[in-house]
Structure 1
Amino acid sequence: MGESRTELVAWVNDLLQINYTKIEQCGTGGAYCQIMDSIYGNVPMARVKMNAKHEYEFIANFKVLQNIFRSHKIDKPIPVEKLVKCKMQDNLEFMQWIKRFWDANYGGQGYDAVARRRGAPTDTPATIAPLAPSTRSGSAGLGAGGARTGGKTPISGHRAGSTQPNELVQNLQAQLREMSGHLEGLEKERDFYFAKLRDIEILVQQQMEVLEAEGKDDVTLRDIQKILYSTEEGFEVPEPAADEEETF
């Protein structure tokens, strides 16, 4: 039997000097990355967003974790698609495995978690909702508001006429549901391509670091970086890329 979720949350908070209240918060990926850093000391914490609030940020953190596992030849599969949904059972089971791995591999050396993440904020929300479900809840709220507005139609003495506003509300609600479904699909597509670009960015950065350490340069890699970080007028750089650009 592994530790309970209460014991694991207390252990994570003590090791990483954070203030999690639920094991579900580990689904952002940041805590898993830093636990591995406490063992090996070579995790690129500047690329880990400890206060991630959106699913695309969670995925980026898990990409870092996958690279850690790959570089240290850890053959444990990481169920990213389940963990980023921030469900209790999935994160409990994975954190129990992480704790056993830590117990077997941590050398007892001191670990300054705050210094390793350079004081980066860790205020992950206690209740985490992926992008798509929040869209549905937003549309439901709008639909409820529309129904209340329709119910306040002034009484004119012609009760049969009140069906027209109700039909209008129903049509608007149907349109909102359709638009919400379309938006959800666009958000999933955006996250899919963002994850691919993120993989390319990490690979380029890793190769650039290797070349810089050897005193070499690669014009092609620098051109790729320019394309990744280039913007158009009126376009705001996504926050993860901005953080990394400032760090490096």
Structure 2
Amino acid sequence: MAAVSRSDLLSWLNELLQLNYTKVEQCGTGGAYCQVLDSIYGDLPMQRVKMNAKHEYEFVANFKVMQNVFKAKKIDKPIPVEKLVKCKMQDNLEFLQWIKRFWDSNYGGQGYDPVARRRGAPTDSPATIAPLAGSRSGSASLGVGAGRSGGKTPISGHRAGSTQPNEAVQALQAQLREMSTHMEGLEKERDFYFSKLRDIEILAQQQMESLEAEGKDDETLREIQKILYSTEDGFEVPEGAAPIDEEETF
């Protein structure tokens, strides 16, 4: 079967899912791949798919949903997640071509409302990730270089020297803002899972105290506590550290 062109693939994808993708690289967020599968099966947990994902950890979460679908439907196809989330054109083009062939073979022709299935969630996915970072560093290096040469040639190079460094600073500031947003997302995710572990710890402790008062024991609860309190080499709690406040909330 002849490979479908990029433009034809994008046209098919945008029409099927009512998207406005302009580049194959945008598929690296994983959202579109998930919804193509949903158009076939109609039972994907679309509430867990972030169609406007901006960061790599969000892309990975989308692909985890997809991997679960592959496992449940017994689809024998490896998903090169580490490559796809880098949002490079060639990797996503090859996978999108496979997705299109799979859809052609399995879509039953039933009606599909993509906007309703994703509950009107926004889909403004970034065009690329890695290439954007490269272009920023490229413009930054260009700006610094122009500024230095401008300093040596004040007559002919003064104009370029005064504008290029400003562009470099703006590019670096934009990159810093993006990194700050990414870090904020990671911190929220960390706090989310930590609060879950804290709730489990309190629940297990309360149950153990209740059982001990009755002269009973529970091996499963003890194993859970062992897991909660275990540490890795280099991450031991230092001696003399203040105990955790039992009333602390998260």
Scaled by the length of structure 1, what TM-score is found? 0.57
Q: Distance in 1 between matches of 2:126 and 2:137?
A: 19
Shift of 1:104: 1.4
SS of equivalent to 1:107? coil
Shift of 1:109: 1.2
- For 1:83, the aligned partner's letter is L
- For 1:64, the aligned partner's letter is V
2:113 aligned with 1:112 = yes
Moved more, 63-72 or 120-129: 120-129
Q: Which residue of 2 aligns with 1:13?
A: 14
Q: Which residue of 1 aligns with 2:81?
A: 80
- For 2:11, the aligned partner's letter is A
SS of equivalent to 2:130? coil
Shift of 1:127: 3.9
Match runs of 1:18-97 below 5 Å: 18-97=19-98
- For 2:45, the aligned partner's letter is P
- For 2:39, the aligned partner's letter is S
Q: Distance in 1 between matches of 2:96 and 2:203?
A: 40
Q: Distance in 2 between matches of 1:222 and 1:25?
A: 43
Q: Does the CA contact (< 8 Å) of 1:55 and 1:131 recur in 2?
A: no
Shift of 1:128: 3.4
Shift of 1:147: 3.4
Scaled by the length of structure 2, what TM-score is found? 0.57
Match runs of 1:189-204 below 5 Å: none
Q: Does the CA contact (< 8 Å) of 1:55 and 1:130 recur in 2?
A: no
Q: Distance in 2 between matches of 1:133 and 1:112?
A: 37
Q: Distance in 1 between matches of 2:127 and 2:201?
A: 39
Q: Which residue of 2 aligns with 1:242?
A: none
Q: Distance in 2 between matches of 1:137 and 1:71?
A: 44
CA distance 1:107–1:54, shift in 2 (3 Å): same
SS of equivalent to 2:83? helix
Shift of 1:146: 6.3
CA distance 1:149–1:47, shift in 2 (3 Å): farther
Deviation track 1:68-103 (CA, whole Å, cap 9, x = no partner) reads 111211120001111112222211111111111111
Shift of 1:145: 7.5
- For 1:67, the aligned partner's letter is N
User: May I ask how many residue pairs the two structures share in their alignment?
Assistant: 175
SS of equivalent to 2:63? helix
Match runs of 1:177-192 below 5 Å: none
C-alpha RMSD over aligned residues: 3.8
Q: Which has the larger radius of gyration?
A: 2
- For 1:12, the aligned partner's letter is L
Q: Does the CA contact (< 8 Å) of 1:54 and 1:131 recur in 2?
A: no
Determine which structure has greater relative contact order: mean sequence separation of CA pairs < 8 Å that are 6+ residues apart, divided by chain length. Answer: 1
Gaps of 5+ in 2: 155-171, 173-178, 205-250
Q: Does the CA contact (< 8 Å) of 1:50 and 1:120 recur in 2?
A: yes
Shift of 1:126: 2.9
Match runs of 1:86-235 below 5 Å: 86-129=87-130, 133=134, 136-137=137-138, 140=141, 143-144=144-145, 147=148, 220=200
Q: Distance in 1 between matches of 2:203 and 2:105?
A: 43
Q: Does the CA contact (< 8 Å) of 2:28 and 2:85 recur in 1?
A: yes
SS of equivalent to 1:119? coil
CA distance 1:58–1:134, shift in 2 (3 Å): farther
Q: Distance in 2 between matches of 1:78 and 1:220?
A: 33
Q: Distance in 2 between matches of 1:150 and 1:6?
A: 46
